[in-house]
Amino acid sequence: MTANFAHTELPHPPGRRRVLGDVVSVMRAPGGGPVQKMLHLSKGAGPLFELRTFGMKFVLTTDAALTAELSDEGRFQKALAPGVKALREVAGDGLFTAYTDEPNWALAHDLLLPAFTRASMRGYHDTMNAVCSELISAWDQESEPVDVSPWLTRMTLETIGRTSFSTDFGSFTSDEQHPFVTAMITALAGGQRRAFLSAVPGGRLLMRRGRKVYDERRAYVDAMIDDIVEARRASGDRRTDDLLGLMLNSRHPDTGAALDLTNVRYQINTFLVAGHETTSGALSFALYYMSRDREVMRRAQEEADAILGTDPDAVPTFEQVPKFRYIRRCLDEALRLWPTAPGFARGPRHGSETIGGRWTLHRDDWVLVMLTAVHRDPSVWGADADSYDPDHFLPANVRARPAHSYLPFGVGDRACIGRQFALHESVLALARLVHRYDLTPDPSYDLRIAERLTLMPRDFRLGVTRRTPKDVARSTDPRPSEAETASGVSGCPVAH
């Protein structure tokens, strides 16, 4: 016998109130933000549980088996949870916020796929290296520990800007973060706040208080993006070797359809945010865990040194990046524990569907896949699921795990279109940083996580000490490196 999903009360935190729902329980739960609090509340709650806040109901799963069912593209599709739906005010029918059946989603997906082929990655490689070199030059000048996340955010913003839109944000020529970042985050967060307040009694009055700032920031972002587009159009440049060129100059091979300028703006919004926020967070989490484990750092440096040689200034070639297999595993493991896009919603593709043999979802129902918990499901990851261990991603361990137990880039047709871009940039940067520096963590620092549109370490600092050729030579293992002997890489499971 199955339960009607919409009308069944699922397990929930104790102390539910008539109007507030589970707000008190959420506020009292440990953690610095909603994602961390929900991770705490999910422990022992069962495979499917619910949270209610004022008039909104959220159904979440922490279970890898249910996630595998929900990942079946024949039965389920991406749903827009309220937080994502609220972003449509800024990002419209861009790739991340579009409904799957909206014409512009399929059109943009087909037109922009060529930007993420292997050949395109090769074209971006030199720019990725150049931007990483600017980060390294900046770190070389620092005498105090560096605040890791803001620096990596500068690097990833500059990388997506230059490779995709031929736009230089001046991230390493100014002491201040580019105002685009603040304006865009404020605009997107403002949209989510408005969606929440619309469900709160009296919330519409509170919405007015932040409206002016929200409108100003959104207008700034729109104007800046429109200037980027107009400059390219005015130049008469018809090339299609970057994202902007594909958006402006490509036509669908079957229909001849092109993206309109409003949708181009939405796509640029999407890629500028998704293309730098998630990647800088992933890199920051990886460096946090790597720097705190001497054996992990030793193995990572040994691999980087074996491939790049004794010159700490060495720059990896395009062909060398996939050889950093242990470093890739370090990144994968960081994304397992703290996926920077911490969840996604799935709903029935056609009519009703039953999951777990118990719960029936109807057309408008959806379940939030809570990746922070699914990635720690002990039935998949074992008793040490909360521990950082890059060997979770040894090829044999990857093959032994059930499908859909690791999904930091989403799933199916709506998986992140830019995942190979993010992985190439991230592995390249990690390899260069551990080859260049000895990285020293603050032993008194406990991980604090900033929750905005994505997850990112907060106030995480590292001491950076330049390595010399002698330092590198001492660490180089004369035996064949793991990169040369390992077979296979960990599987890759932003815009979703």
DSSP class per residue in 354-403: EETTTEEE-TT--EEEEHHHHTT-HHHH-TTTTS--GGGGSHHHHHHSPT
Residue 342 confidence class, pLDDT cut points 50, 70, 90: very high
Q: Token pair of 126, please?
A: 């030199």
| Domains in the chain, CATH or no CATH each | 3-87+340-374 (no CATH), 108-339+403-485 (1.10.630.10)
Stretch 245-273: mean pLDDT: 96
pLDDT of residue 45: 87
Q: What is the pLDDT of residues 68-89, one digit of tens each?
A: 999 999 999 999 998 888 889 8
Tell me the pLDDT of the chain averaged across its residues.
90
Query: What are the distances in angstroms from CA 418 to CA 69, 142, 180, 438?
Result: 24, 32, 21, 30
Annotation: binding site = 416
**CA 375 to chain CA mean position, Å:** 15
Whether the CB-CB separation of 298 and 360 falls below 8 Å is answered with no
Active site residue 173: no
Among 58, 169, 416, 421, the one annotated catalytic: 416
Q: How far is the C-alpha of 61 from the C-alpha of 51, rounded, in Å?
A: 11
* Backbone dihedral angles phi then psi of residue 481, each to the nearest 5 degrees: -70, 155
pLDDT above 90 covers a percentage of the chain that reads 73
Contacts made by residues 216-222, CB under 8 angstroms, sequence distance 24+: 217/182, 217/183, 217/184, 217/186, 217/187, 217/190, 218/90, 218/183, 218/187, 218/190, 220/179, 220/180, 220/183, 221/90, 221/180, 221/183, 221/184, 221/187, 221/269, 222/265
Q: How far is the C-alpha of 165 from the C-alpha of 381, rounded, in Å?
A: 40
Q: How far is the C-alpha of 203 from the C-alpha of 251, rounded, in Å?
A: 44
Q: At what angle do helices 419-436 and 294-308 cross, to 10 degrees?
A: 90
Among 409, 421, 454, 460, the one annotated catalytic: 409
pLDDT above 80 (res 57): yes
Residue 481 confidence class, pLDDT cut points 50, 70, 90: very low
Instruction: Decide: helix, strand or coil at residue 2.
Output: coil
pLDDT of residue 495: 44
Q: Token pair of 414, please?
A: 């709506």
Stretch 336-364: mean pLDDT: 96
Burial class of residue 210, CB neighbours in 10 A (0-12, 13-18, 19+): middle
Kindly report the pTM of this predicted structure. Answer: 0.92
Residue 206 confidence class, pLDDT cut points 50, 70, 90: low
Among 127, 156, 278, 340, the one annotated catalytic: 278
Q: How far is the C-alpha of 151 from the C-alpha of 136, rounded, in Å?
A: 10
Active site residue 324: no
Sequence-separated (6 or more) residues with CB below 8 Å from residue 376: 336, 337, 385, 386
pLDDT of residue 82: 85
What is the DSSP code string of 122-166?
HHHHHHHHHHHHHHHHHHHT-SS-EEHHHHHHHHHHHHHHHHHH-
Annotation: binding site for heme = 416
**CA 345 to chain CA mean position, Å:** 15
Active site residue 180: no
Q: What is the pLDDT of residues 457-470, one digit of tens each?
A: 999 999 999 999 99
| Of 27-36, 152-161, 309-318, 395-404, the least confident | 27-36
pLDDT above 70 (res 48): yes
